[in-house]
């Protein structure tokens, strides 16, 4: 049971959404139990019969109307994101802007990615035409986290919808209001669509677990690796396919030829923006010895000015999930016990819901702050002797989500040697803002991809259709009427086709 799942007892009937900065109650939601989840999936299944048979152009129209509705309501949505998640209003707007880019890309590119293709039948099956067609899966269960409560689940929702599926979304218990706002905007933009194209179910982990068991055609999960493993185990019982977008421990490599100021600026922002609660945020840095002192001094200089808070001047907000605060404190203490030196902040930086930036240099590579996901506004920096050592240490981690490389001349070359799903060269997180690029990781960071064409294909199944256009006398390979003459011919043909490569 996850921490969130244990929070549910049979007596729990409602979920209270709380402002993480003030503790103020924002709203109360009824928890959807097993029956309610099954009813939502049944409604989505009925709606899929309509939505799944629309043309790509029709679905594009509905999805783009949704983007316009979200733009129209952006002030209210950003205010809600600020209140329920804690992030600054500007960051909320940037998150919404990226989600809009993805909805728009999915709507406009679904046909190109998914349209039926004719493929070559090959010489031995030349009397056939071969058709590769992508079909929607049906109903997708999306289970989301709270850190980017719009952008992150949208990576599954928009692409699943564009591919012709309906969606039942279980937002995080820490961002229930935002998730419901997002789905309501779709319904409001498209009143003529049947109820159930995109709806939510609300609750803690138990509601998510009920969605996994509810007969959906795929589960698209974003959240922690521990929960991802439970979901995969539960989904195995019904062979329900899963897409898992889990945690990360992203490294930045700063090579000897890096633009030091640009690298420091990116690391400072990538490590602390959104209070460090970013799956592909900067958690570790490997910097070349020749520039290490200058780089560390510059990161420290920038972060000394950066303050968390909830006012309009704050650079980032409170920790959204109270339980994470103890993990961040423990990682800082562990790093300091294991050879690390705090050049900015320390355990005292953890003050209530806010954590001020913490920079630790040369912590042992086995400490939790280097191995485990910290998910706070902290960063470890290690001095290395060249690119090979940096690559080795970057790859020596169970996670493999994102990464970044700062180098004027060898950025792409270094990027290609990293065991991760995504890399930004001379930027951090650039890959997450380019809709055509798939996003996801390897190892404990998950299975499958959101975004781009691979992210669209995740929500379809290939349907292969072979059409026999005419028969070739004596070449009935798939029949008992096959003759000895055919076999003699094949024995001559096969060495010609496949046996000439010496
Ligand atoms: P979490 O795993 O605690 O919860 C995620 C969701 O799963 C929530 O909606 C929760 O209610 C639900 N859930 C919990 N137990 C469940 C169960 N047994 N069955 C089904 N659903 C269950 O994660 P979180 O704290 O909300 O999010 C933070 C984590 O998400 C971090 O590890 C972060 O790296 C990761 N994340 C990954 C990506 C990515 O794209 N790879 C993006 C954002 C966040």
Segment 196-216, tens digit of pLDDT: 999 999 999 999 999 999 999
| 37 within some domain | yes
One domain, residues 200 and 292: no
C-alpha distance across the termini of the chain, in Å: 58
One domain, residues 273 and 319: yes
| 457 within some domain | no
One domain, residues 242 and 374: no
Among 216, 246, 276, the domain-final residue is 246
Task: Determine whether the shortest distance from the Cβ of 143 to ligand 1 is under 6 A.
Answer: yes
Q: Which residues of 343-365 are buried (b: 16+ CB within 10 A; e: fewer)?
A: bbbbeebbeebbbbbbbbbbbbe
| 443 within some domain | no
Distance 222 CA to ligand 1 centre (A): 5
Mean pLDDT of 342-360: 97
One domain, residues 143 and 280: no
Distance 246 CA to ligand 1 centre (A): 7
Smallest CA separation from ligand 1 atom 30, residue = 223
One domain, residues 308 and 418: yes
| Ligand 1 atom at minimum distance from 204 CA | 11
Helix 74-85 and helix 176-189: axis angle, to 10°?
160
| 400 within some domain | yes
One domain, residues 183 and 141: yes
Q: Which residues 6+ apart lie within 8 Å of 215 measured at CB?
A: 38, 41, 139, 238
Distance of CA 489 to the CA centre of its chain: 53
Provide the domain count of the chain: 3
Contact 296, 261 (CB under 8 A): no
Mean pLDDT of 365-374: 97
> Which residue of 3, 15, 145, 208 sits with most ligand 1 atoms within 8 Å of its CB, as the best mutation to test the pocket?
145
Count of CA atoms in the C-beta half-sphere (13 A) of 14: 7
Smallest CA separation from ligand 1 atom 23, residue = 223
Looking at the chain, the whole-number percentage of residues with pLDDT higher than 90 is 93
Query: What is the rounded distance in angstroms from the CA atom of residue 243 to the CA atom of residue 155?
Result: 11
Token duo for residue 279: 């799956």
Categorize the per-residue pLDDT at 24 as very low, low, confident or very high, splitting at 50, 70 and 90: very high
**Mean per-residue pLDDT over the chain, rounded:** 96
Q: Is the dihedral of CA 191, 194, 198, 203 positive or negative?
A: positive
Count of CA atoms in the C-beta half-sphere (13 A) of 24: 9
Token duo for residue 237: 């019982």
What was the pLDDT predicted at 352? 86
Query: What is the rounded distance in angstroms from the CA atom of residue 52 to the CA atom of residue 347?
Result: 53
One domain, residues 159 and 224: yes
Task: Determine whether the shortest distance from the Cβ of 457 to ligand 1 is under 6 A.
Answer: no
Q: What are phi and psi of 325, to 5 degrees?
A: -60, -40
| Ligand 1 atom at minimum distance from 226 CA | 2
pTM of the model: 0.95
Segment 27-48, tens digit of pLDDT: 999 999 999 999 999 999 999 9
Q: Which domain holds residue 477?
A: 471-499
Closest CA to 426 of 258, 247, 196, 185: 258
What was the pLDDT predicted at 362? 95
Task: Determine whether the shortest distance from the Cβ of 201 to ligand 1 is under 6 A.
Answer: no
What was the pLDDT predicted at 473? 79
Mean pLDDT of 159-167: 99
What was the pLDDT predicted at 474? 73
Task: Determine whether the shortest distance from the Cβ of 407 to ligand 1 is under 6 A.
Answer: no
Smallest CA separation from ligand 1 atom 9, residue = 172
Q: How far is CA 475 from CA 173, 478, 479, 480, 489, in A?
A: 62, 9, 9, 11, 9
Smallest CA separation from ligand 1 atom 15, residue = 205
| 379 within some domain | yes
Mean pLDDT of 9-35: 89
Token duo for residue 498: 């496949």
Task: Determine whether the shortest distance from the Cβ of 146 to ligand 1 is under 6 A.
Answer: yes
One domain, residues 333 and 234: no
Distance 224 CA to ligand 1 centre (A): 4
Q: Which residues 6+ apart lie within 8 Å of 430 measured at CB?
A: 424
Among 192, 219, 246, the domain-final residue is 246
Task: Determine whether the shortest distance from the Cβ of 169 to ligand 1 is under 6 A.
Answer: no
So which residues are the catalytic ones?
A: 245, 279
Task: Determine whether the shortest distance from the Cβ of 451 to ligand 1 is under 6 A.
Answer: no
């Amino acid at each position: 049971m996850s921490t969130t799942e244990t929070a549910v007892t049979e007596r729990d009937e409602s979920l209270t959404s709380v402002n993480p900065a003030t503790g103020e109650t924002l709203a109360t939601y009824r928890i959807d139990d097993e029956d309610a989840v099954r009813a939502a999936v049944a409604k989505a299944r009925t709606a899929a019969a309509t939505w799944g048979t629309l043309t790509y152009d029709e679905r594009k129209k509905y999805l783009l109307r949704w983007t316009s509705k979200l733009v129209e309501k952006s002030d209210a949505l950003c205010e809600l994101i600020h209140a329920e998640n804690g992030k600054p209003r500007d960051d909320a707007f940037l998150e919404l802007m990226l989600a809009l880019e993805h909805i728009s890309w999915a709507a406009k590119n679904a046909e190109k990615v998914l349209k039926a293709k004719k493929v070559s039948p090959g010489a031995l099956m030349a009397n056939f035409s071969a058709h590769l067609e992508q079909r929607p899966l049906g109903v997708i269960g999306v289970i989301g986290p709270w850190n980017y409560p719009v952008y992150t689940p949208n990576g599954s929702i928009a692409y699943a919808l564009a591919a012709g599926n309906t969606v039942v979304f279980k937002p995080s218990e820490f961002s229930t209001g935002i998730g419901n706002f997002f789905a309501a905007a779709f319904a409001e933009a498209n009143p003529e669509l049947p109820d159930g194209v995109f709806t939510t179910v609300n609750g803690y982990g138990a509601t998510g677990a009920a969605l996994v068991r509810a007969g959906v055609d795929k589960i698209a999960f974003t959240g922690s690796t521990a929960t991802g493993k439970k979901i995969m185990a539960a989904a195995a019982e019904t062979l329900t396919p899963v897409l898992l977008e889990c945690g990360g421990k992203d490294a930045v490599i700063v090579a000897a030829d890096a633009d030091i100021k640009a690298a420091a600026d990116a690391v400072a922002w990538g490590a602390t923006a959104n209070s460090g609660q970013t799956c592909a945020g900067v958690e570790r840095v490997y910097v070349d010895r020749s520039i290490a002192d200058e780089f560390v001094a510059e990161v420290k200089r920038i972060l000394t000015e950066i303050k968390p808070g909830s006012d309009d001047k704050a650079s980032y907000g409170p920790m959204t999930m109270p339980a994470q605060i103890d993990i961040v404190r423990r990682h800082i203490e562990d790093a300091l016990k294991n050879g690390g030196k705090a050049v900015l902040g320390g355990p005292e930086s953890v003050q209530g819901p806010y954590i001020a930036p913490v920079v630790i240099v040369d912590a042992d590579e086995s400490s939790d702050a280097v191995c485990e996901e910290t998910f706070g506004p902290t960063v470890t920096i290690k001095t290395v002797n060249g690119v090979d050592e940096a690559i080795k240490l970057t790859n020596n981690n169970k996670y493999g989500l994102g990464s970044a490389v700062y180098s004027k001349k060898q950025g792409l070359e270094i990027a290609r040697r990293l065991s991760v799903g995504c890399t930004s060269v001379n930027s951090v997180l650039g890959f997450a803002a380019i809709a055509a690029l798939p996003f996801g990781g390897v190892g404990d960071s998950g299975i499958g991809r959101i975004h781009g064409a691979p992210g669209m294909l995740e929500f379809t199944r290939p349907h292969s259709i072979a059409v026999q256009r005419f028969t070739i006398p004596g070449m009935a390979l798939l029949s008992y009427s096959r003759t000895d003459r055919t076999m003699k011919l094949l024995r001559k043909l096969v060495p010609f086709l496949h046996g000439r490569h010496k």
